[in-house]
């Protein structure tokens, strides 16, 4: 439920008014928006329960069903900032907000203003920060499909890793057996999910991200990677607040489904500073949950690598012939990956995490190589490969 009007902040009122304008432009009311979540649950939940019924013993499955029902009821009852925020989706954002603010407190990073967090169909790969008129408040909006994107990307990575999962911190042996690269994604399921994801998002933005699936063995790894990706996406926005970038940043007009809004514009140095703080928050939050700092880095690095790939795919579609993706020139996301790694090299744990990510480069490389084959075939089918 949305927060009662008397208790709502200027940011929450501003966000709901913006959402109302944007969704009205595509013929949706708040009620329509909530109904779509229920329809989504009706499509996804039976499949999930069927999967769990095959994996769990009967008494474990009963407890799982009870936990799911309790979580759904809790999400529905929890306050939400606007009538357009969906219960389950906003539960993820609320958890991210709490996790990031707790991590910032542990790191003694001052966050002078707690932003209002919400969703908006921006079709962007990263959030926007919006100033609230006549107020010091800010609103951070994220395309809800981006959460599905992170979940599916993390699942594909987890399925592709050819090692027995023991614990997130040590699931990859210190000295992998020779030829381990040949055992990446032997069933092809990870590649299929990855290919479907990239093609859908390149065509329609994050809202087109299809939901992926993982098995019980890979689920803990997928969850850890997804947590890192989602925390980074929101955490780097907090990095701007830590540095006070919003106090002097210019704004630029953006359009969301034909509706105008003003968003802050950042410099290249501010983007890098936000990345560094975002990564620090990711690592702190992961360690607090007993998860691996190495996995946290790998999740962040792979997320940026996937954004780099998406930009290259869009460039490829815009040409009249197929061009190898590696030949399409540098992107801002590749530059950010390199700058972030360079900025962290002075920190010993970060160096080990970067080495870990580099060691797993063949996993991401295999998924990208298999995608490129499909992309070339797809363009050939449209007469675009010469």
Strand 251-256 to 259-264 pairing: antiparallel
pLDDT at 184 over 80: yes
Each residue's pLDDT tens digit, 267-304: 999 999 999 999 999 989 988 888 888 888 999 999 99
| Number of other residues whose CB lies within 10 A of the CB of residue 161 | 22
The answer to the question of residue 54 being in a domain is no
Is the pLDDT confidence value at 168 over 70? no
24 found inside a domain: no
For residue range 145-154, list pLDDT tens digits in order. 999 999 999 9
pLDDT at residue number 37: 66
Which residues constitute the domain of residue 147?
85-381
Inside any domain, residue 47 = no
Summarize pLDDT for 308-339 with one digit per residue, the tens. 999 999 988 888 677 888 888 889 999 999 98
- Work out how many domains the chain is built from and give that number: 1
* Per-residue model confidence (pLDDT) at position 383: 45
In a domain, 51, yes or no: no
33 belongs to a structural domain = no
In 3-state terms, the chain is what percent helix, strand and coil (to 5)?
Answer: 65, 5, 30
Residue 53 has pLDDT above 80, yes or no: no
Please indicate, yes or no, if residue 96 is contained in any of the structural domains. yes
Query: What percent of the chain has a predicted confidence (pLDDT) above 70?
Result: 88
Mean pLDDT of the residues in the chain: 86
Give the predicted TM-score (pTM) of the model: 0.89
Instruction: Please determine, for residue 141, whether its predicted confidence score (pLDDT) is greater than 90.
Output: yes
- Cα-flanking dihedrals φ and ψ of residue 251, to 5°? -110, 155
Query: Within 10 A of 349 (CB to CB), how many other CB atoms are there?
Result: 13
Q: What is the residue-wise DSSP string for 231-250?
A: HHHHHHHHHHHHHTGGGT--
The reply to whether 116 falls in a domain is yes
Instruction: Tell me whether residue 216 is in a domain.
Output: yes
pLDDT in tens, 12-45: 999 999 999 999 998 988 887 777 766 666 566 6
């Amino acid at each position: 439920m949305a927060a009662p009007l008397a208790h709502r902040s200027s940011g929450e009122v501003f966000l709901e008014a913006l959402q109302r304008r944007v969704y009205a432009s595509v013929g949706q009311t708040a009620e329509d928006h909530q109904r779509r979540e229920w329809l989504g649950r009706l499509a996804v939940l039976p499949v999930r329960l069927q999967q769990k019924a095959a994996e769990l013993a009967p008494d474990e499955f009963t407890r799982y069903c009870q936990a799911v029902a309790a979580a759904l009821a809790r999400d529905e009852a929890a306050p939400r900032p606007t009538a357009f925020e969906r219960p389950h989706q906003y539960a993820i954002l609320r958890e991210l907000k709490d996790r990031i603010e707790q991590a910032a407190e542990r790191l003694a990073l001052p966050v002078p203003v707690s932003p209002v967090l919400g969703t908006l169909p921006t079709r962007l790969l990263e959030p926007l920060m919006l100033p609230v008129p006549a107020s010091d408040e800010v609103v951070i909006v994220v395309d809800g499909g981006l959460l599905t994107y992170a979940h599916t990307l993390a699942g594909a990575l987890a399925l592709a890793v050819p090692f027995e999962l023991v614990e997130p911190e040590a699931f990859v042996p210190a000295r992998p057996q020779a030829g381990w690269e040949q055992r990446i994604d032997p069933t092809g399921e990870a590649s299929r999910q990855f290919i479907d994801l990239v093609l859908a998002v390149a065509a329609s933005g994050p809202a087109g991200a299809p939901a992926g699936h993982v098995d019980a063995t890979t689920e803990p790894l997928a969850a850890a990677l997804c947590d890192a990706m989602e925390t980074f996406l929101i955490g780097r926005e907090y990095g701007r607040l830590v540095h006070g970038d919003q106090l002097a940043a210019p704004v630029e007009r953006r359009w969301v489904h034909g509706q105008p809004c003003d968003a802050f514009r950042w410099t290249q140095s501010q983007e890098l500073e936000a990345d560094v703080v975002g990564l620090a928050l990711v690592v702190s939050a992961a360690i607090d949950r007993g998860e691996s700092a190495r996995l946290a880095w790998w999740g962040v690095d792979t997320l940026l690598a996937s954004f780099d790939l998406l930009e290259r795919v869009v460039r490829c579609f815009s040409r009249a012939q197929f061009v190898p993706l590696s030949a399409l020139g540098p992107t801002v996301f590749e530059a950010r990956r390199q700058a972030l790694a360079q900025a962290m090299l002075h920190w010993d744990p970060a160096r080990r995490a970067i080495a870990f990510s580099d060691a797993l480069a063949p996993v991401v490389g295999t998924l990208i190589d298999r995608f490129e084959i499909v992309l070339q075939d797809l363009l050939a089918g449209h007469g675009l490969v010469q």
